[in-house]
């Protein structure tokens, strides 16, 4: 599978400031792994299961958010977190020759159901996180339905 990293609405860059704002932290207290429902079904993963994503550079364990809005061969993890929650620990740190920018955007990865939850895992936070993730995907669909010109 291909792992891609990116932003979410609740945090800015590394989240150094936004993860200190209680409301924003409640919306996205830690990372998650978005995956398409076809990939999840193939791997026996359901929404909310803890999964481990592995690359040649490391691994990260987080809850799965099963969605339809991502390609079936792609995983997404937000990059706003640090230490053992850092998505960029999985990506390729090689620098692009001209601009010297690290190749943090995408890499090959595997995903499987986790054998254990990380020590920072909290059940209440996980439920809030999954609800916020679902809202993130439902809002554009609702907007498109209400306004056909957005399709």
Q: What is the domain partition of the chain in residue ranges?
A: 2-150
Higher pLDDT, 119 or 146: 119
In whole angstroms, what is the distance from residue 60 CA to residue 24 CA?
22
Kindly tell me if the per-residue pLDDT of 128 is higher than 50: yes
Task: Give the pLDDT score at 142.
Answer: 52
Kindly tell me if the per-residue pLDDT of 55 is higher than 70: yes
Tokens of 56: 């040649």
Task: Give the pLDDT score at 34.
Answer: 93
DSSP state of 19: G
Contact assessment for residue 77 and residue 71, using Cβ atoms and an 8 Å cutoff: no
Which of 47, 19, 22 lies closest to 33 in space, CA to CA?
47
Task: Give the pLDDT score at 144.
Answer: 47
Which of 16, 9, 12, 71 lies closest to 40 in space, CA to CA?
71
Task: Give the pLDDT score at 149.
Answer: 47
Which of 55, 64, 12, 9 lies closest to 33 in space, CA to CA?
64
pLDDT in tens, 9-43: 666 555 555 656 676 666 667 888 999 999 999 99
Q: What CATH number does domain 2-150 carry, 3.40.109.10, 3.10.20.90, 2.40.40.20, 3.50.50.60?
A: 2.40.40.20
Give me the phi and psi of 23, to 5 degrees please: -60, -45
């Amino acid at each position: 599978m291909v792992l891609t990293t990116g932003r979410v609405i609740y945090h800015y860059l590394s989240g150094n400031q936004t993860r200190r704002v209680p409301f924003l932290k409640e919306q996205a207290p830690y990372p998650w792994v978005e995956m398409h429902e076809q990939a999840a079904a193939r791997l026996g993963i359901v929404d909310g299961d803890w999964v481990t994503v592995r690359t040649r550079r490391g691994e990260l364990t987080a809850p799965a958010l099963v969605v339809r809005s991502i390609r079936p061969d792609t995983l997404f993890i937000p990059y706003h977190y640090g230490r053992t929650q850092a998505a960029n620990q999985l990506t390729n740190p090689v620098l692009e020759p001209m601009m010297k920018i690290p190749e943090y955007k995408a890499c090959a990865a595997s995903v499987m159901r986790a054998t254990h939850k990380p020590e920072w895992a909290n059940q209440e936070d996980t439920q809030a996180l999954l609800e916020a993730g679902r809202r993130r995907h439902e809002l554009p669909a609702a907007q498109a339905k209400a306004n056909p010109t957005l399709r």
